[in-house]
């Protein structure tokens, strides 16, 4: 007598669930193609706008306890005096709506513009 294996048997509901997950994943992938790159970044320190930066011009910006690098349409915190270095580990940002935050240094760097895609936030 042949024993029936339940491991390989898929019912209609299982197949529908697999197809639904695949379609949803593909939709999320396509929605990120609408994100625009911006040409400006805003640097805030102590809730005040310190500088508006052209991202097309390679440069280093020295603020109190921070070194910010701009290169090829991207911006990052290269060096910081904060203990956790979260702002440094955030890395490069280049798309509208992305931010870098350094709480100990009261810094916020934001890429100017609106994201065209359906989702407005980014998780790294």
83-124 pLDDT per residue, tens:
999 999 999 999 988 999 999 999 999 998 765 555 555 555
pTM of the shown model: 0.63
Half-sphere exposure of 22 (CA within 13 A, CB side): 6
Task: Give me the DSSP letters along 2-20.
Answer: PPPPSSS---HHHHHHHHH
CATH code of the domain containing 46 = 2.60.320.10
11-32 pLDDT per residue, tens:
877 777 787 788 877 776 665 5
Tokens representing 83 are: 């203990």
Q: Does residue 50 sit within a domain?
A: yes
Residues in the chain: 124
Domains identified in the chain, total number: 1
Q: Does residue 8 sit within a domain?
A: no
pLDDT category of residue 7 using cuts at 50, 70 and 90: low
Query: Distance between CA 6 and CA 119 in Å, rounded?
Result: 40
Could you list the residue range(s) of the whole structural domain that residue 68 is in? 40-111
Q: Does residue 26 sit within a domain?
A: no
Dihedral angle, C-alpha 75, 80, 82, 83, nearest 10 °: 100
Query: Distance between CA 34 and CA 115 in Å, rounded?
Result: 7
């Amino acid at each position: 007598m042949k024993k029936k294996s339940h491991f390989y048997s898929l019912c209609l509901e299982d197949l529908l669930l697999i197809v639904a997950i695949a379609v949803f994943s593909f939709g999320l992938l396509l929605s990120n193609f609408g994100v625009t790159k911006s040409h400006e970044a805003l640097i805030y320190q102590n809730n005040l706008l310190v500088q508006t930066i052209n991202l097309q011009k390679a440069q280093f910006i020295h603020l109190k306890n921070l070194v910010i690098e701009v290169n090829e349409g991207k911006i990052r915190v290269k060096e910081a005096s904060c203990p956790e270095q979260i702002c440094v580990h955030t890395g490069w940002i280049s798309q509208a709506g992305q931010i870098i935050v350094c709480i100990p240094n009261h810094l916020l760097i934001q890429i100017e513009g609106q994201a065209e895609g359906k989702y407005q936030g980014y998780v790294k």
